[in-house]
Amino acid sequence: MSPDAVYPSPLAFSGQRLDWRDLPRAVRARIAELAGSQVSAETSATTGFSPGFAAVLELADGRGVFVKAVSPEQNPTSPEFARAEIRAAAALPPEVPAPRLLWFDEDGDWVLLGFEVSHGRPPLLPWDPEELALVLDALVPLAHAQPLPGHRLPRTDDLLAPDFTGWRSLARWPQDELEGAARLAGDLGRWAHEHLDDLVRWEQDALRVCAGDALVHGDLRADNIMIDRDRNRVALIDWPHASVGAPWLDLAFMLPSIAMQGGGDPQEIFWSHPVSEGVSPADLRAGLAGLAGFFAYGSLQPAPLGIPNLRRFQRAQGAQALAWLRDLA
């Protein structure tokens, strides 16, 4: 896949959402009880990969609440991601631009979360330069933020340890299968095949460079951002992958998706951003090797239950990450 491809809307990759009427009656009643008012209308979220319910609910008393509801039936791992987001919400300091968690509940099957409504909309795609500048500015206080005392967030290097093994996993493939996958991926695939030993070596250093004491969102991309142009504000949403690590990771790991969606050259953006200060090219290369391997190997796996478009999204981001990595080699 060409690294120059631009996808104008995250809808092309979004998951399969449930509607309000798809929820069991008892779940709907419990949401109304937690919200403190009957539900009068819903506006479903149109982006993101969660196969559960995610919508802004208008309440009969005039308030609004953003609700997520997931169960193992949609995807076996979705409830654990919801629980991780509950833990993350308790760790976020006030300077981080994120919606506040109002309530949560679990009945042994369904996990329910209610958040403040983030006003605005996802970024315009291809990226608008002014909106991109707002988002990049928001990454500065995030890079300086630390989780609240008593938090239960994992270390980034521990969290990513199972995932940042993609190149080593591919290196164990039979040679004919590896060559076939490389041919399908075009020029970037051939380059990766020729430099697989280098990629494995760089990847082995990835976890070391991910370590640190800063708050890391871990999954920033256009569909996890809300922009309020009237107030020039940005809200960073969906925190189930939050961890504690190096302060430059969110910028570096977001840039392949920005490049994929027409936002510009990741190399230029990264080194011109204040968050990159003190980062060595070798450390950046190691971190990107871990990320690119995760995308490359993941994109070759079967689609997970309820998330049919995830592998295409990983493939597109992986192409951009690998192209950037090739520039750093």
CATH of the domain at 82: 3.30.200.20
Task: Using the 3D structure, point to which of 46, 81, 115 is the last residue of a domain.
Answer: 115
Q: Read off the amino acid at residue 104.
A: F
Which residue stretches of the chain have pLDDT < 50?
1-2, 4-6, 8-14
Residue 243 domain-assigned (yes or no): yes
- Among 60, 92, 115, give the residue marking a domain's end: 115
Report residue 56 as tokens. Answer: 């802004």
Torsion angle of C-alpha atoms 32, 91, 248, 133, degrees rounded to 10: 40
Q: Are residues 208 and 162 in the same domain?
A: yes
- Distance between CA atoms of 171 and 165, rounded to whole angstroms? 10
CA distance from start to end of the chain: 20
Helix ranges (DSSP H) in the chain: 25-35, 78-89, 129-144, 156-160, 166-171, 175-184, 186-194, 196-203, 206-210, 249-260, 266-272, 281-299, 310-328
**What is the pLDDT, as a whole number, of residue 15?**
54
Are 181 and 226 within one domain?
Answer: yes
pLDDT at 306: 78
Quote the pLDDT of residue 2. Answer: 40
Which domain does 315 fall in, by range? 129-328
**Strands 39-44 and 214-216, sheet pairing:** unpaired
Torsion of CA 280, 284, 287, 290, to 10 degrees: -130
Domain tally, the chain: 2
